[in-house]
Structure 1
Amino acid sequence: MGTDLKRFDKTWHDVLLENFAVIHYVFFFIIAPPLSIFLAFFMLFSSYWSRESSVVSSFRHFVLLYGIWVYLTWDSPRYGLRRSRWYQSCSLWKYFAAYFPIDLVKTADLDTSRNYIIGIHPHGVMGIGAFTTLCTNATGFWEMFPGITPYLATLPGQFLFPFRREYISLTGAVSCEKDVLQSLLEGQKGKAVGIILGGAEESLECRPNSFNLILNKRKGFIKLAFETGSCLVPCFNFGENSTYDQMSNERGSFLRRLQHIILQTFGFGAPVIVGCGIFNCPFGILPFRTPIHTVVGEPIEVALTPEPTVEQIEELHVRYCSELKRLFNEHKGKYGIGADVELNLL
């Protein structure tokens, strides 16, 4: 698990840069959130445990000015208004994708006269395939789907961490709040909003050779598709669940009950991850070097229906699940998954 013989064909320069890119990703998504809160409080209240000085005063003034900036620009990151195409296409992400590696497989064109909701599966521990495909151009999304602007919906809390909020805004990530998604999908055409439908709950199911998806009760995206007239596009990241392992947490176990409490209280699943270290050392919090193949399926046409009935929502949900299973079954053999393996929708 995680051993990539191709890495031995790479130069040490490439291996170093790939490791740096992945460390950067892990830092900003795991370490930066609590660190950013600590730094903000430290800079604001540092005079309480250190002598007042010009440096301490400058820290406090900086945080206060930053607070004003956050207040004045509260909505812009949530709506993806500060994305940077330069940052999304910089070499950092090429090395990040090469670490695994990650590739993008297109099965159909996306018409620029429509908007799309891309349902992404599985969640994985850190949504690596989804982020790389939609928040960067490392796998060539812009060239494969010209005229389509991709977004990735994420938890609103991602935009609350000071300083890190500015980093997230560069990637084109948007809040998964309904008003934000409706605004994007009802506006200018040629947008594709990716939603990792299993959410944080599904991250607790993610481990190598697991194909459990939390989907049976997820129908809000179906209603959103009707209300905005957006096409639905199933997308499966083969290999996503192999990027990390996690401690055994069978349903009903003490750990799983604790994780469920954390999920209900704070909105994230808190899987106890098992990864590798720098240069593929056996222990650490970096993901394993395992290929991820992001396969984007064919769009499902959805007619604009401002007030869809329960029956319409159920019918489209069944069709979406059927198309997702078909996509999985058509491609699983190419990526080392046995013919008898099926998706398990929970």
Structure 2
Amino acid sequence: MLYSLCNNIKYTIRWHLESAAIFFYLFSSIIAPFVGIFLFLILIFSPLFLFGWGYLLWFYYDCRTPERGSRPNPNIRKWRLYRLIQSYFPITLIKTADLSPENNYLIGTHPHGVLAFGPFISLCTDAAGFDQLFPGIECTIATLRGMFWFPIRREQVLLMSNLIAVNKESIDFYLNQKSKGRALAIVVGGANEVLTAHPHTYNICLKNRKGFIKAAFRNGAHLVPMFNFGENDYYSQLPNGKGSIVHGIQQLIKKIITYSPTFVLGRGFFQPLIGYMPRRRPITCVMGKPIPVERNPNPTQEQVDELHAKYCQELTELFEKYKLRCGAKLSDHLCFY
């Protein structure tokens, strides 16, 4: 009886710690950017304004860091915060092939989902076992440059995530260091895929996304497809098909800030029925086998199209092979747009 009671207490504490970790992730992703701006303005127009101007000088001095590999810290990848987020869903990383430390890699990860929990936890942290599955490989994710323009919050991003900016300069710098064994992940679908992140759907924005193919050629980085089963399942969205009012609002805001707001519905902090916490749905990130790419600074359009087609084929085969094992149905197939 006492043993059972202790187990129940332990489970309850763990459950709430996991929820608190998710709440922190949501706060950091959605609210912290605006809190940072608010705090910065207060600092500028307060008796402590010298600190505000000092930070502004630091901001200017340090503004190139996201294009210069960020601030990697292997110890941060092992924080317990990330293990709590991993066990909340839970998030699992499956390895299908070795990644040799003698090469560099460009990982295309699909789909984006609403908040990309799977890619972030499996690639930017070691909570899902990346360091054990792929020893000798240093990995991070490239994200929107705008993420690094929010004062104060940018310091949190650089400290806690090691994210870099997703632009040509940043990608080339990261993949052109003397040391090999670097893997850079790009959530290829980006903001467009956020809008189609409905449960049990597999719409992948990839048909005209070829910039990452050119980046692989330019840097001689082997391409690796990765699919995140369950990434679309932890939130429901308001109906936002083309022509709907919701879709129109989202597209308008996207043109202004390059990112689309989502109107989502999940679970509550203390109850499972309604709220803005993501539902506890398993996310399985399957890393495919590398596609060898020879360095070619100026590939022809035909070469780009050929490698893109091969990548799409490898991603499709990866999905079909693992879909039944990872919660999808036999009738489910990828739909590229």
TM-score range, shorter chain: over 0.9
Which amino acid letter does the alignment assign opposite residue 215 of structure 1?
A: L
Match of 1:241 among 232, 242, 267: 232
Which amino acid letter does the alignment assign opposite residue 213 of structure 2?
A: I
Deviation string 1:21-62 (CA, Å, 9 cap, x unpaired) is: 1011000001101111111112212xxxxxxxxxx312x122
Alpha-carbon distance, 1:324 to partner = 0.2
Superposition RMSD in Å: 1.5
Relative distance call for 1:65 and 1:217 in structure 2 (3 A) is same
Relative distance call for 1:24 and 1:289 in structure 2 (3 A) is same
Q: Secondary structure in 1 aligned to 2:316?
A: helix
Deviation string 1:55-100 (CA, Å, 9 cap, x unpaired) is: x312x12211111111121122443331322222111111110000
Residue correspondence of structure 1 range 29-108 to structure 2 within 5 A: 29-45=29-45, 56-58=46-48, 60-108=49-97
Structure 1 residues not aligned, in runs of 5+: 1-6, 46-55
Aligned to 1:185: 175
Tell me if the contact between 1:77 and 1:165 (Cα under 8 Å) persists in the aligned partners.
Answer: no
Residue correspondence of structure 1 range 206-221 to structure 2 within 5 A: 206-221=197-212
How many residues are matched? 329
Q: Secondary structure in 2 aligned to 1:104?
A: strand
Which amino acid letter does the alignment assign opposite residue 109 of structure 1?
A: D
92-101 vs 74-83, which deviates more? 74-83
1:334 to 2:325 alignment: yes
Aligned to 1:144: 133
Match of 1:269 among 260, 279, 285: 260
CA distance in 1, matches of 2:8, 2:204: 34
Which amino acid letter does the alignment assign opposite residue 30 of structure 2?
A: I
Relative distance call for 1:29 and 1:8 in structure 2 (3 A) is farther
Aligned to 1:50: none
CA distance in 1, matches of 2:276, 2:37: 21
1:131 to 2:120 alignment: yes
Alpha-carbon distance, 1:172 to partner = 1.3
Q: Secondary structure in 1 aligned to 2:243?
A: coil
Relative distance call for 1:280 and 1:326 in structure 2 (3 A) is farther
CA distance in 1, matches of 2:103, 2:72: 21
Which amino acid letter does the alignment assign opposite residue 69 of structure 1?
A: W
Alpha-carbon distance, 1:19 to partner = 0.9
Q: Secondary structure in 2 aligned to 1:294?
A: strand
Normalising by structure 1, what TM-score?
A: 0.92
Match of 1:201 among 192, 207, 210: 192
Which 4+ runs in 1 deviate beyond 6 A?
7-10
64-73 vs 221-230, which deviates more? 64-73
CA distance in 2, matches of 1:311, 1:8: 61
Tell me if the contact between 1:78 and 1:174 (Cα under 8 Å) persists in the aligned partners.
Answer: yes
Alpha-carbon distance, 1:13 to partner = 1.3
Tell me if the contact between 1:77 and 1:166 (Cα under 8 Å) persists in the aligned partners.
Answer: no
Aligned to 1:320: 311
Alpha-carbon distance, 1:244 to partner = 1.0
Alpha-carbon distance, 1:275 to partner = 1.6
CA distance in 2, matches of 1:111, 1:86: 22
1:13 to 2:32 alignment: no
Tell me if the contact between 1:238 and 1:335 (Cα under 8 Å) persists in the aligned partners.
Answer: yes
Which amino acid letter does the alignment assign opposite residue 125 of structure 2?
A: T
Which amino acid letter does the alignment assign opposite residue 274 of structure 2?
A: F
Tell me if the contact between 2:230 and 2:327 (Cα under 8 Å) persists in the aligned partners.
Answer: no
Tell me if the contact between 2:67 and 2:169 (Cα under 8 Å) persists in the aligned partners.
Answer: no
CA distance in 2, matches of 1:159, 1:65: 18
Aligned to 1:112: 101
Tell me if the contact between 2:67 and 2:173 (Cα under 8 Å) persists in the aligned partners.
Answer: no
CA distance in 1, matches of 2:73, 2:19: 23
Which amino acid letter does the alignment assign opposite residue 257 of structure 1?
A: G
1:227 to 2:237 alignment: no
Alpha-carbon distance, 1:281 to partner = 3.5
Tell me if the contact between 1:154 and 1:176 (Cα under 8 Å) persists in the aligned partners.
Answer: yes
Aligned to 1:4: none
Which amino acid letter does the alignment assign opposite residue 122 of structure 1?
A: P
Relative distance call for 1:253 and 1:9 in structure 2 (3 A) is farther
Structure 2 residues not aligned, in runs of 5+: 1-6
Which amino acid letter does the alignment assign opposite residue 318 of structure 2?
A: L
Deviation string 1:225-251 (CA, Å, 9 cap, x unpaired) is: 111111000001100000111100011
